[in-house]
Amino acid sequence: MISVLLVDDQSLLRMGFSMVLDAEDDLTVVGEAADGATGARMARELRPDVVLMDVRMPGTNGIEATERIVADRPETRVIILTTFDLDEYAFAGLRAGASGFLLKDTDPEELVAAIRTVHAGDAVVSPRITRRMLEMFATSLPSEPAPVDSQHAAPGRPGGLTEREHEVLLAIAEGLSNGEIATRLYVSEATVKTHVGKVLAKLGLRDRVQAVVYAYENGVIRPA
């Protein structure tokens, strides 16, 4: 069973999420909290596998709570949920250590799939959020990506990535899944998975979300 903690100041939303998750054979809601401080404390006590975290709450917000949870228990995965497409806390939440960022109007099936994905060690970022983040950072990103001129590691690429690994990093930053990356690069999903692992290892990153953050912060992507 995947244990889930709900942290949201709206009781009706918590009730709705609870009904959706408890209907799944492999998911169980182990607790609910109405603010970030209580959520962080309950995460420490209940040791859930996944926390669904609201952003805007009275007192301790979801960003601060996420930082506490990740620091206290790194194995607990946090998925941040928000009502807003362009939330000023979105990027901060991912930097705080969240493994996912979804909108609250996400379909129940997508939410359930996201919980299973982050529990398996991967990360989830809504493509809508990825596009919005690109818009947010477009003015500060370089007009051209780092030069790519060979299949071997080059100083111009972050972390000494090869050309193919650099292409995979760019695709991750766009919010593409392994299947979509495989289609773009004309390789198998297994090959993409291998490249993703090498990118994360070379850059010292935990998961795909951190790869997205890294790409934005280091200007390795070119806005459309």
The mean pLDDT of 106-128, rounded to a whole number, is 83
CB under 8 Å to 178, separation ≥6 — which residues? 189, 192, 193, 196
Residue range 146-158, pLDDT digits in tens: 433 333 333 356 7
The last residue of a domain, from among 116, 135, 154: 135
Phi and psi, residue 48, nearest 5°: -70, 160
Range(s) of the domain holding residue 169: 141-217
Number of domains in the chain: 2
Residues 113 and 156 both lie in one domain: no
Residue range 64-83, pLDDT digits in tens: 999 999 999 888 999 988 87
Which structure tokens are listed for 167? Answer: 């292409």
Residues 53 and 123 both lie in one domain: yes
pTM above 0.75, yes or no: no
| Rounded Cα distance, 168 and 174, in Å | 10
Instruction: Check: CB of residue 57 under 8 Å from CB of residue 31.
Output: no
Looking at per-residue pLDDT, the higher value among 159 and 222 belongs to 159
What is the structure's pLDDT at 111?
Answer: 92
203 found inside a domain: yes
Residues 31 and 118 both lie in one domain: yes
The mean pLDDT of 95-117, rounded to a whole number, is 87
| Rounded Cα distance, 7 and 179, in Å | 32
Residues 59 and 89 both lie in one domain: yes
- The gap from C-alpha 63 to its chain's centroid, in whole angstroms, comes to 13
Residues 42 and 125 both lie in one domain: yes
Looking at per-residue pLDDT, the higher value among 179 and 52 belongs to 52
Looking from the CA of 133 toward its CB, the CA atoms found within 13 Å total 27
